[in-house]
């Protein structure tokens, strides 16, 4: 799967909702309930970061939830790509991009949403064939003003900013012509996930759905 096709598929997923929940889940037994609540709240695209030992099991369980599209985040190596694909991930997200990672996603036919934070990084991704990127770490890298500036010389690239995005600044990003959606972790607080407070998480997902 070429980077061009990967970006087409990533963009289609990003267009499904204004927010992609970024999830760090340590207990796989919470996966189905969490995914069900988020999908019911109107956020069908979920990013499960590979930051816990349970992450791959969480992806397996969430991939069973009807209407959901589950991807793996913090994908750094070709081995991460293989493990994510085997677990049922339908896309991958990385904080940056390397040639090894790009080639691994091509071979595994797993759409990659590669990260970038500077004009040079965006241009390198464009040379590989990507047109849909993650902007990370969004707030630390200049926020919505930086993304607006990138849109001038590089209008052919679209972004999903992640990192420091919250309900208070999400609309600043979503109002930009080169932003398709944002990624955020505020929708499913750890305490609510641990307690199985699915109704509260679903309500927060509905609020996020209404941001755009």
Is the Cα torsion angle 75, 81, 85, 91 positive or negative in sign? positive
Q: Hey, is 38 helix, strand or coil?
A: helix
Order of strands across the sheet that contains 92-93: 112-113, 92-93, 69-73, 45-49, 19-23, 182-184
Catalytic, 47? Answer: yes
Find the catalytic residue in 30, 47, 85, 106: 47
Kindly name the residue from 9, 85, 134, 192 that is annotated as catalytic: 134
Sorted by sequence, the CB contacts under 8 Å of residue 42 that are 6+ apart come out as: 17, 205, 206, 208, 209
The CA radius of gyration of the chain, in Å to the nearest whole number, is 16
Two tokens, residue 124: 């390198």
C-beta of residue 120 within 8 angstroms of C-beta of residue 101: no
CA pair distance 201, 30, nearest whole angstrom: 12
Helix (H, G, I), strand (E, B) or coil at 71: strand
107 is known as an active-site residue:
no
Catalytic residues: 47, 134
């Amino acid at each position: 799967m070429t980077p061009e096709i990967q970006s087409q598929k990533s963009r289609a997923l990003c267009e499904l909702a204004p927010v992609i929940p970024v999830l760090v889940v340590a207990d796989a037994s919470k996966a189905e309930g969490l995914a069900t609540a988020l999908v019911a709240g109107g956020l069908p695209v979920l990013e499960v970061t590979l930051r816990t030992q349970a992450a791959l099991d969480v992806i397996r369980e969430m991939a069973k939830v009807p209407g959901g599209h589950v991807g793996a985040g913090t994908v750094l190596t070709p081995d991460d790509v293989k493990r994510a694909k085997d677990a049922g991930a339908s896309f991958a997200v990385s904080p940056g991009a390397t040639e090894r990672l790009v080639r691994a996603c091509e071979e595994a036919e797993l759409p990659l949403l590669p990260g970038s934070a500077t004009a040079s990084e965006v241009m390198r991704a464009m040379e590989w064939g990507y047109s849909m990127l993650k902007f990370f770490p969004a707030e630390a890298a200049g926020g919505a003003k930086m993304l607006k500036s990138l849109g001038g010389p590089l209008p052919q690239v679209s972004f999903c900013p992640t990192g420091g995005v919250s309900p208070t600044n999400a609309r600043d990003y979503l109002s930009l012509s080169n932003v398709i959606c944002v990624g955020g972790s505020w929708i499913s607080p750890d305490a609510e996930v641990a307690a199985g407070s699915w109704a509260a998480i679903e309500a927060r997902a509905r609020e996020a759905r209404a941001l755009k």
